[in-house]
Amino acid sequence: MKKYIFTILAALLTVFTVGCEKTSADKTYVASYFQMVGASAMYLGVGDDFTDPGIIELEGGGKVSTVITDMFDDPVDAVSTEEPGFFTITYSTTNDQGFYFEKSRKVYVYDATVTETLGTFVVDPEASYNLSNKKSFSTLSEGWLANPTQAYHPYSTTDIEITFTQVVGNIYTCSDLMGGWYTSVQGRGYYYKEKNGDSYFNYFDMTGYVTLNADMTLTLMSSNIRRWGDGLDYIANSSYDPETKRLKYDWVYAGSIAAHVEMVKK
């Protein structure tokens, strides 16, 4: 699977009109802006045609001025549907006052021929381990609890559930691609939940999009952890066994944190 980032420069759009104004004691700030037509995420099957929905240029007060479509001479220049993949189309412009504006659309190309499905899994704390020191998730969790400076909250590593929710075809969203590394193994989710409320439990989950390929491997499409706003570097050595219902892969984050995760389907 290939990942591409396409940037549509201001020259391909038009000169944007005034969108809003802020006035200070000595200066008026003028900002132009636009919004995308349609959804910020599109899903296409292999072989489908791609048509860019375009953007809407806005005048002052948010009034619609112009709908701009036909952004590309050839759709393949932006998105190829010859094979499963993930694309980001970025629309951007800079106005006369130097203000920069940018909006992005995600395009996911899926394979409808993959009929095997994922679902909810339970992490195996003995088979999952830190790739650097080879310590298992269960050993690591015991160590963190025993360390007064890192003892976030009592928890168990035997009930970490990770859910892969099918979006379309072989594309899935994952509740935590790190297998509970921060939220449960270190217990940060419990700490944040206790201090800030239920909505903070998943603050350290690495959510993301993956595909289950025909050879039963996973491919990372995109990911994000809300606490820091970035994603995994990559996942590797992935495999899913439909007979044993066991899923395993390695993940790497921030260039230095890496783990092997194994989980079994419920």
pLDDT averaged over every residue in the chain: 79
Q: How far apart are CA 172 and CA 110, in angstroms?
A: 10
User: For the segment 216-250, what is each residue's pLDDT rounded down to a tens digit?
Assistant: 999 999 999 999 999 999 999 999 999 999 999 99
**pLDDT score, position 10:** 33
What would the 3-class secondary structure string for 123-192 be?
ECCCCCEECCCCCEHHHHHHHHHHCCCCCCCCCCHHHCEEEEEEEECCEEEECCCCCCHHHHHCCHHHHH
* DSSP symbol at 254: T
**Which overall architecture, per CATH, does domain 2-110 show?**
Sandwich (2.60)
Strand partners for 262:
248
Among 246, 239, 242, 249, residue whose Cα is nearest residue 264: 246
* DSSP symbol at 104: E
178 contacts 259 by C-beta, under 8 angstroms: yes
Statement: residue 206 has pLDDT above 50: yes
Give CATH for domain 120-265: 2.40.128
Q: Give phi and psi for 107, each to the nearest 5.
A: -125, 120
Res. 7 pLDDT band, cuts 50 70 90: very low
Statement: residue 28 has pLDDT above 70: no
Statement: residue 144 has pLDDT above 60: yes
**Residue 146: which residues within 8 A CB-CB, separation 6 or more?**
none
User: For the segment 65-104, what is each residue's pLDDT rounded down to a tens digit?
Assistant: 555 555 555 544 678 899 888 888 887 766 666 767 778 8
Q: Where are the domains of the chain?
A: 2-110, 120-265
Q: How far apart are CA 265 and CA 245, in angstroms?
A: 5
Q: How far apart are CA 7 and CA 91, in angstroms?
A: 6
Claim: this prediction has a pTM higher than 0.85: no
